């Protein structure tokens, strides 16, 4: 299946939800309500990176694309990275800038409407170990309103991150152990293709 590469509008210039496919019917809730309603009813999700043959053959990083599934295996969100070749392949991972655009999927999944819900913007940072750790800013696309920030604290081995609200208060902490096969020996099969992250409420 070919996955779409949506046209991205510059930050600060979006006045309404971006819809790819058929226009939204009159009376449909806003994208904020759609996305928040979906997230509020979830106990856990699965984030699956979409395989890209060019990257597998050449070894050059391509724009990452993800499908987010709920507990029943239904596709609920589609996320696509926006960055250029230099940013993906020449910058150190902790310093590289990128944007991640998150779309709400309708009943028809990727074959239907893609509603641009959130934009995650991480600017370039001069990061070295624990100094000047990167921060990503999460905004609601239709209003350009800041919803919160994602922080990547320094950890020697574990996969860690923090989510803060717009006021800077800690909301969620995520930790993934370093002894997972998906981190030690990442392969596209068996337990080596999975990485688990436990989320805890920080409030």
pLDDT tens-digit map of 14-73: 333 444 444 344 334 444 557 888 888 888 899 998 877 666 666 667 788 999 999 999
Residue 50 CA to residue 59 CA, distance in Å, equals 15
42 φ, ψ to 5°?
Answer: -100, 140
- The domain ranges of the chain are 35-152, 154-202
Closest of 156, 67, 166 to residue 111, by C-alpha: 67
Residue 123 CB neighbour total at 10 angstroms: 11
State the pTM of this model.
Answer: 0.75
The three-state DSSP-derived secondary structure of 109-152 is EEEEEEEEEEEEEECCCCCECCECCCEEEEEECCCCEEEEEEEC
Query: For residue 155, what pLDDT is reported?
Result: 84
Query: For residue 20, what pLDDT is reported?
Result: 46
156-191 pLDDT tens trace: 888 888 999 999 999 999 988 888 888 888 887 888
């Amino acid at each position: 299946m070919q996955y779409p590469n949506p046209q991205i509008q510059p930050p600060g210039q979006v006045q309404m939800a971006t819809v790819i496919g058929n226009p939204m019917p009159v009376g449909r809730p806003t994208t904020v309500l759609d996305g928040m309603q979906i997230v509020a009813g979830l106990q856990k999700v699965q984030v699956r990176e979409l395989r890209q043959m060019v990257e597998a053959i050449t070894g050059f990083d391509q724009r990452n694309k993800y499908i987010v599934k709920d507990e029943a295996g239904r596709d609920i969100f589609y996320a696509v990275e926006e960055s250029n070749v230099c940013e993906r392949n020449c910058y150190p991972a902790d310093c590289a800038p990128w944007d991640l655009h998150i779309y709400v999927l309708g009943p028809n999944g990727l074959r239907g409407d893609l509603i641009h819900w959130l934009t995650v913007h991480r600017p370039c940072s001069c990061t070295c170990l624990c100094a000047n750790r990167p921060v990503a800013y999460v905004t609601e696309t239709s209003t350009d309103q800041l919803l919160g920030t994602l922080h990547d604290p320094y950890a020697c081995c574990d996969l860690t991150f923090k989510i803060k609200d717009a006021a800077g208060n800690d909301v969620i902490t995520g930790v993934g152990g370093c002894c997972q096969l998906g981190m030690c020996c990442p392969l596209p099969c068996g337990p080596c293709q999975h990485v688990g992250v436990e989320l805890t409420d920080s409030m």
